Amino acid sequence: MNSQIVLETVQTPEQLKLFLGLPYELYRGDPAWRPPLRIERKEQLDPAKNPAAANLDRSLFLAKQGGSVVGRIAAFINPAHDSLHKDNSAFFGYLDAIQDETVIFALLEAAENWATAKGRSRLVGPAQWGVNEEVGLLIDGFEHPNVVLMPYGKAYYQSAVEGFGFEKAVDLYAFQADIHAGYPRPKMTQMMVNYATKSESVVWRKLDPKNFTRDIESAMEVFNDAWGNNWGFLPFPDDAIQHLAKEMKPLISPNRFYLGYIEGKLAAFICLIPDLNELARGFDGKLLPFNWAKLIWRLKFGKIKQSRVPLMGLKTEFHNTRKGLGLVAALCEEVFAAARDEGYTHSELGWILEDNESMIAICKQASAVPYKTYRMYEKQIGNG
């Protein structure tokens, strides 16, 4: 295309519809593209439906060329990040565009200009509202389908983002486990599981359906403690925990959600869920008119192969302890066994920060291998 690029700020319902719909048009036909549910994408943007989208200072942009939408981006400031990190950052996210560097540059420039006008000195991304949502630009593993709540992207984004002056902030890994492979487990893993199993002070239990919200809150207590020292960490506030419990309830089975205790103290948790993107294959992201019934049937009776461990954690006080490592190893084996019984063959573990050596070691002990890399970028802007 040679026509002029026109940038529009999303202000109307029609523009928002175009913003939400772009990925479905842009990636249609890509072998690895698994369209997420459109209603979930819409609610993710809605401050009234998603606490992570509330209280943000944000702007959404569309790029048009010849009257057609050719790209999109969001720029935002997250007060929760400001309060904890105090680094004068703004963020960009929802970057999707045709393979045209001038279009991507125009989108990034719109985000940078917006952030500069807000007095920010650092622009970070891509992120969808915060590190507890979807983050990172896919830079390796394009041949593998995107699983539930993980980003999708094209290889040409990396060169454009870096060409615009962004530098690596940190890499995030996704590990893939063939849950039927790697047996017998390495001797060290077997020893840790055996130790946890025989120790009277190390116990674990399944999620209690009658106290679902309470157990989710317990898990998030572990998460907020376990991940507190990680890059860009933001704790789950109470409203986000309630939202998470509501959103994940249809996907969570007590057999695939465990809480662990050491000497009577809450210490660890793990959760394995089906890949909703695989469940919704062939839907083009749409539930109406009849796909909702197909989704329910597939969730109950379908032979889903891919799963994901989106959340797990071990409280800091138990890091690098024999009991803590043994407990986590045992929890991994429990959820993998349950997943096998339900017909799953693979599970993605992630994302994991590149410098999180203990979590990477746990993934490897579970015979998982790194198969995707996502990158967070940063750029000094304005007077930064």
What confidence tens digit (pLDDT) does each residue in 287-318 have?
Answer: 999 999 999 898 888 788 999 999 899 999 99
- Burial (CB < 10 A; 0-12, 13-18, 19+), residue 160, is buried
Report how far residue 190's alpha carbon sits from residue 271's, in angstroms, rounded to the nearest whole number. Answer: 21
- Six-digit token string for 45: 């943007």
Q: Which residues pair with 72 in a beta bridge?
A: 62, 96
332 shares a domain with 259: yes
Q: Which residues pair with 175 in a beta bridge?
A: 349, 370
**pLDDT for the residue numbered 384:** 54
In terms of DSSP bridges, do strands 89-97 and 122-125 run parallel, antiparallel, or are they unpaired?
A: parallel
The stretch 212-240 carries a mean pLDDT of 89
62 shares a domain with 194: no
The stretch 65-77 carries a mean pLDDT of 96
The stretch 136-150 carries a mean pLDDT of 96
Q: Is residue 142 predicted with pLDDT exceeding 50? A: yes
- pLDDT category at 2 given cuts 50, 70, 90 is low
Q: Residue 118's domain spans which residues?
A: 5-170+376-380
Report how far residue 16's alpha carbon sits from residue 147's, in angstroms, rounded to the nearest whole number. Answer: 24
Tally the domains of the chain.
2
Token pair 């329910």: residue: 296
In the chain, the percentage of residues whose pLDDT exceeds 70 is: 99
263 shares a domain with 182: yes
**pLDDT for the residue numbered 143:** 97
Specify the pTM. 0.94
**pLDDT for the residue numbered 1:** 45
212 shares a domain with 137: no
CATH number at residue 23: 3.40.630.30
**pLDDT for the residue numbered 366:** 82
315 shares a domain with 259: yes
Question: 139 with 156: CB under 8 angstroms?
Answer: no
What confidence tens digit (pLDDT) does each residue in 240-259 have?
Answer: 888 888 888 888 999 999 99
Report how far residue 108's alpha carbon sits from residue 121's, in angstroms, rounded to the nearest whole number. Answer: 15
Reference 313, options 226, 195, 189; nearest CA is 226
252 shares a domain with 367: yes
Q: Is residue 222 predicted with pLDDT exceeding 70? A: yes
User: Where does the chain have alpha helices with state H?
Assistant: 13-26, 38-45, 79-85, 101-117, 156-163, 187-198, 212-226, 238-248, 276-279, 291-301, 322-341, 357-365
**pLDDT for the residue numbered 33:** 97
The stretch 125-150 carries a mean pLDDT of 94
252 shares a domain with 142: no
Q: Is residue 129 predicted with pLDDT exceeding 60? A: yes
347 shares a domain with 247: yes
Q: How far lies 200's CA from each of 184, 318, 344, in Å?
A: 25, 16, 31
In terms of DSSP bridges, do strands 5-9 and 137-140 run parallel, antiparallel, or are they unpaired?
A: unpaired
252 shares a domain with 196: yes
The stretch 77-97 carries a mean pLDDT of 95
Lowest mean pLDDT among 41-55, 84-98, 115-129: 41-55
* Distance from chain centroid for Cα 32: 17
Q: How far lies 210's CA from each of 205, 214, 215, 260, in Å?
A: 14, 9, 10, 18
189 shares a domain with 308: yes
**Mean pLDDT, the chain, as a whole number?**
93
Element (H, E) at 256: none
206 shares a domain with 166: no
The stretch 110-133 carries a mean pLDDT of 94
Largest distance between two CA atoms of the chain: 71
Reference 187, options 175, 195, 177, 178; nearest CA is 195
Q: Is residue 198 predicted with pLDDT exceeding 70? A: yes
246 shares a domain with 119: no
End-to-end CA distance of the chain: 35
**What value does the CA radius of gyration of the chain take, rounded to a whole number of Å?**
21
Q: Is residue 43 predicted with pLDDT exceeding 60? A: yes
- pLDDT category at 153 given cuts 50, 70, 90 is very high
Q: Is residue 24 predicted with pLDDT exceeding 60? A: yes
What confidence tens digit (pLDDT) does each residue in 354-376 have?
Answer: 998 888 888 888 889 999 999 99
